[in-house]
Structures are given as structure tokens and as C-alpha cells.
Structure 1
Amino acid sequence: MAEWQDTMERLVRDRERALLSYAFLVCGDASKAQDLVQDALVRTFSRERKGLTVVTAEGYVRRSITSVYIDEYRRAQRWQRVQHLFREEEPSRDPVHAVEAGSDVHAALATLSPRERACVVLRYFDDLTVPQIARHLGLAEGTVKRYLADAMGRLQLALGEIDDENEQTTVTPPRASGKGNDHEDV
């Protein structure tokens, strides 16, 4: 058996669940996550890479998962701009289906753009630093910071105040002001 086949088999056998979980966090759909992992495995092992270990292969696959997701999102956006030229409009869907979205976090993540979502997943799931995320996605550090700030703002609107153990920010709730209250409640 070729070395790459052995590496791929060990990766799938030992880390498939972790890769599927990661892909689910990126895209938010279980069946789409399976497709992302499959596409990422094909991208990673379609060409020979010398000295590829299970650990390095997992890194390649994770990066491919985010790249494939962003590429597919862009492709879908381009198609939406021209699809009306090729077919009639579909009847509007029942808004009740949107209510059945699932958990609050899942619904909140769905409101983010693909880049924002990828940055949030890499930061808070993979626990990468801003420079690491920038290298991973091929972006400038300032751009990553902007995506994270915008995403956290949207997530806070959807979920409420988010406590971040990694950040050193403290939020102090405003005090109620009232006439004649010169002391603080203990």
C-alpha cells in the first residue's frame, strides 16, 4: 500500500469524527459537513506530498474544509446574481421553516458571512491567534480582527452578551440612577 493511502486511512479512522465536527461548525449543516470533509480529503490527497503524517494531513484537510466552504459560498453568490436569466423565480417559501432552525448558536452562526464564520470557528473552536488565522486564511491581521469584531457584534445581538475567557475585557453593567439614592446596595 502506498504511504499516502496508509496516512489517509489512519486519518479517516482516527480523526473522522473531529473533522466532521469541525466541518459542521464551519457550515452548520451535517450533510454539507460530510461533503466538505470528502472534498477536503480529495484535495489533500489528490497530489503527492512527501513526508505527510496524520497530524500534518489533518492540518491540510482542515484548511481545505474552510477553503472549499468559502469557494462554494462565492460560487453560490455569483449564481444568485445571474440565476434569474436562466429560470423563472421560485415561489416564496413558508417562513415557518426558518423557525425550525435549531439552536440559538446555530442560528446566530448562520447570520455570519463565510469569512466571519471561518474566523470565529478558527478563533474560538481551534483556539488560533489572530496571526495564525491570518496565515491560515491568507488574510491581513487587521482584516481578521475586523471580521472577528463584526462577527462578535452580530453574535452578541443574536445571543446576548458573550463572555470570552481569552479576552481581558470586563463589562460593567450600568447603575440605576434614582433621586435620593446616594448609597450602593451591598
Structure 2
Amino acid sequence: MVDDDASVEFHDFFDRHYRELGRLAHLLTGDPDAADDLAADALAALWHRWDRVRSARHPVAYARGVVANLARGRIRAAVRERRRTALFWAQHGEHANTPDVAALVDVRQALGRLPFRKRACVVLRHAFDLSEKDTALALRISVGTVKSQTSKGMKELERLLGDRTAREPAGGGER
């Protein structure tokens, strides 16, 4: 049972970080509907272990790590489901393939094409402006891995978005 002080502390933590965790989940999954669910699931998990979380050196980093792990699980489940669906249609003579059109790729779609670790590093470093150390804490990886995955992720994004930006007029390509 969590005491009253811990309950107040958790509610304060919730109020301060729920939106940030939801944004993180949205950027990692690309699914705004899943973002609230993942943030809520992460905070529920934190509540059950609040006595440990509150004594951690970096509770917010711990929370980000929980969101990242939940997002990874959701992405893996979606990939498995897509494979099962594609296999089903392939066995029935229909094809579910839709070609990627490079001209329609925006930043979220390009992020969605990155492997999870690269995407997580890029999102935490650039969208959330975390330091390499804080990103490493959140993802439970080394600072060197954060550096290399962020660099590789940014190069991949540049490649994915490069064709589009090369075709846009000099004014930034207003829509």
C-alpha cells in the first residue's frame, strides 16, 4: 500500500509528465490514439512500483523507458498483425501491397520507417531536446549507442526526405 505522501507525489508526477509521455508515445508509434493509452499504461505501471520509482535517481527517465518499451511492444504486435494479414491475402490470390510514394513522405512517416532504436534516439534527442545522457538513461543504452543511433537515424531521415526536399521550390514548399 502506498502512503498518502507517496500518493500526492505520484499525482504531482502524473500532472507534470503525462502530456510529455503521451507526446513521446505519439512520436514513437505515429499513432495519436495509441499515445494516450500508452502514456496511461506507463503511468499505471509506475504507480504499481511507485515506491521504487520515486527513489530512483531519474524517475522521468525511468518513465520514458517504460513508454519506449510499451511502444516497442505495440509496434511489434502491429507488425505481426500486418504480416498475418498479408499472408492471408497472399494465400487468397489478392495482394495488400501498396507502393510507397516518396513525394508523400512527411517527417512522421519517415520516422515510422526507422528502426525503433534509431527512431527513439532521434525523437528523444531532437523532439524532446534531451541530452545524450538522459536519452541513454531513458532507453537503458550507452551514451555511445545514443550518439551512433542518433547520427545514423538522422542520416536515414535525410535520405528518406531528401528526394522530397530536392523537388520543393526554394520557398520551402508551402502546401
TM bucket, shorter chain: 0.5 to 0.7
Partner Cα distance (2:87, 2:112) in 1: 27
- Give the structure with the higher percent helix: 2
Among 94, 98, 108, the alignment partner of 1:95 is: 98
**C-alpha displacement of 1:60:** 3.0
1:119 paired to 2:118: no
TM-score normalised per structure 2: 0.67
Q: Aligned to 2:15, what secondary structure does the other structure show? A: helix
Cα distance change on mapping 1:141 and 1:111 into 2, 3 Å: same
Cα distance change on mapping 1:57 and 1:137 into 2, 3 Å: closer
Name structure 1 gaps, 5 residues minimum.
162-186
**C-alpha displacement of 1:139:** 2.1
- Equivalence for 1:135: 137
Cα deviation, 1:52-81, whole Å, max 9, x if unaligned, reads: 39xx5544322211122224444556x46x
TM-score normalised per structure 1: 0.64
Cα distance change on mapping 1:135 and 1:11 into 2, 3 Å: closer
Partner Cα distance (2:28, 2:134) in 1: 17
**C-alpha displacement of 1:88:** 6.0
Cα distance change on mapping 1:57 and 1:7 into 2, 3 Å: farther
When the two chains are superposed, the root-mean-square deviation of aligned CA atoms in Å is: 3.6
Instruction: Point out which structure has higher relative CO (alpha carbons under 8 A, 6+ apart).
Output: 2
Partner Cα distance (2:130, 2:23) in 1: 17
Name structure 2 gaps, 5 residues minimum.
164-175
- Equivalence for 2:172: none
Q: In terms of Rg, which structure is larger?
A: 1
